[in-house]
Amino acid sequence: MSKIKRISAFKKEACDECGICLHKCPVLQLPLEEAKEEISRLIEGKESKLALYKCNTCFSCNLYCPKGANPYQLILERWNDLYYKRGAPPLYRFVCPTETPNIWQLLNVFLSPQERKWIHEWMNYVPKPGDKILLVGNYTHLFPFVLGGSQLLSYFKPIDRIDQWEGGAYLYQGGYLDVVQKIARRTKNDFDQWGVKEVVATLDAVEYIFNEVHPKEMGVIHEQHFKNLDEWLLEKLNLNEIPIKKKLNFKVTIHDNCYSKAIEGKYWEPPRKIVEKCGCEIVEMEHNRKDSLCCGFGAGASWVKNIAIPFDIISEGTKKFKEAEETGARALISYCGGCLYLLWATRELLRSKIDIYHVVEVVRLAMGEELPYPEAHVKRAWDIIAIITYQLIISLFQKKFYIKKITYDKKRTTFFPRNHYFLLKAIRILFNSTVIRAMYARIFQCFMPLMKSR
């Protein structure tokens, strides 16, 4: 495919530099005059000490902009510029399937035999024309028990292509725009070779990336029809094609992820209608829908110092938990897999008692399916906390880097890491102790105010 120039989604001609976007931002909340100055600096490409280092990439600024100028994409463009100047922080290797080690390789140490079986099937199935495929995705890969074994999968051919990078969704959120364009071309080649026409994605972010970002910003047009899983689930529930065998009678609150704000709130209502059909009562957090706070993942996308990233992530996630607990809800429901793994890690580090479910798990419970809950999630949360701890330690000895490959080496995939990872295993063994967990969580909480950059 020939080189196509990217199209910036920021509409410079529409922006009158009023500053309302950064003034209303639920994270920055800048005084109006300071917000105006910051927008001017971003447009001119001058040094920024605010937006580029404190933004949680939550899309809210686009909804606040009275002119529809898309200031969020302006921030992404400036991050793209920073990437060329500085390279990516060493810890970011963690979420790059073409770098070694990454979270998928490291998680291989802890996967159960059943999880390995599911993932092996999903990674190795080659779709055929006429298949309706479900993109399991990078982050659902981290907790395959959310989907694995469910009757819901009988409607699809589930596939797990880690090096599709969720279509580039999380790289886009971090401003790695030129890399996303390469991934867009790669995914188009995949879909076209398979000959599939219908694609369901477990993340609304991925549907948005394929339907909106690839054609409108990356110049890559897909012929397939993309739908997100929440939309599909709601359709099936409305048609009674997914039987509800028992009402759950949970009081829940809904976490709206950052990408849910991307198309004027298109993604907000389906998960709410789904959990209501399953018998749940919804109580909203103070910040919801367009004002929703990030789970913490977006804080890791900001261009902060390497060592500050984990502390920034958990610190921002703390705000979410405070609001969720104040609702009195029994459970916090996420419809984003990327948010889910961070919410569980944050829950354990904060020692919170609120339950956390993926919306798919809510449906499965209402269908009468048995779930390994909460044991599987708690175990996986500590697997991930151990991996993050390990990765942070080794990143202190690594340099910033550039993403040069977008396709992983099959000899070094999730199932073939070239290391025994003795330090990682030792850390994880320590976390088997409830006393050590409590001590680590307390130490982490004490360090958060000292280490976080915001």
101 in the same domain as 54:
no
Between helices 434-451 and 337-350, what is the axis angle to 10°?
Answer: 100
Cis bond leading into 310, ω under 30°?
no
Tokens standing for 45? 């490409």
Those residues with Cβ within 8 angstroms of residue 6's Cβ, 6 or more apart along the chain or in another chain = 177, 178, 181, 217, 218, 219
CA–CA distance, 207 with 130 (Å, rounded to integer): 19
100 in the same domain as 78:
no
384 within domain boundaries: yes
Domain boundary among 29, 62, 86: 86
Tell me how many helices (H) and strands (E) the chain has. Answer: 20, 8
348 in the same domain as 229:
yes
Domain boundary among 69, 86, 103: 86
Q: Comparing C-alpha atoms, which of 259, 261, 214 is closest to residue 7?
A: 214
7 within domain boundaries: no
61 in the same domain as 162:
no
154 in the same domain as 69:
no
Those residues with Cβ within 8 angstroms of residue 183's Cβ, 6 or more apart along the chain or in another chain = 164, 165, 167, 168, 171, 406
Q: Comparing C-alpha atoms, which of 335, 362, 286 is closest to residue 140?
A: 335
8 within domain boundaries: no
15 within domain boundaries: no
244 in the same domain as 332:
yes
* Domain around 197: 91-451
Could you list the pLDDT tens digit for every one of the 454 residues in the chain?
A: 446 688 889 999 999 999 999 999 988 889 999 999 999 999 999 887 788 888 888 888 999 999 999 999 999 999 999 899 989 988 888 899 998 889 998 998 999 999 999 999 999 999 999 999 999 989 999 999 999 999 999 999 999 999 899 999 999 999 999 999 999 999 999 999 999 999 999 999 999 999 999 999 999 999 999 999 999 999 999 999 999 999 999 999 999 998 888 887 889 999 999 999 999 999 999 999 988 888 877 766 766 666 777 777 788 888 899 999 999 999 999 999 888 988 999 999 999 999 999 999 999 999 999 999 999 999 999 999 999 999 988 888 889 999 999 998 776 655 565 677 899 999 999 999 999 999 999 998 888 776 655 5
SS3 category, 245:
coil
Domain boundary among 67, 86, 105: 86
> 6 vs 42, 179, 207, 220, 441, CA distance in Å?
19, 11, 19, 10, 43
Query: Among all chains, which residue has been given the structure tokens 């009402």?
Result: 247
Other C-beta atoms closer than 10 Å to the C-beta of 26 total 18
56 within domain boundaries: yes
380 within domain boundaries: yes
121 in the same domain as 75:
no
99 in the same domain as 82:
no
2 within domain boundaries: no
202 in the same domain as 78:
no
Tell me 209's DSSP state: I
273 in the same domain as 151:
yes
When divided into structural domains, the chain yields a total of 2
The one-letter code for the residue type at 405 is K
305 in the same domain as 158:
yes
SS3 category, 63:
helix
Residue 190 Ramachandran class (φ > 0 left, ψ -120 to 50 alpha, else beta): alpha
5 within domain boundaries: no
80 in the same domain as 105:
no
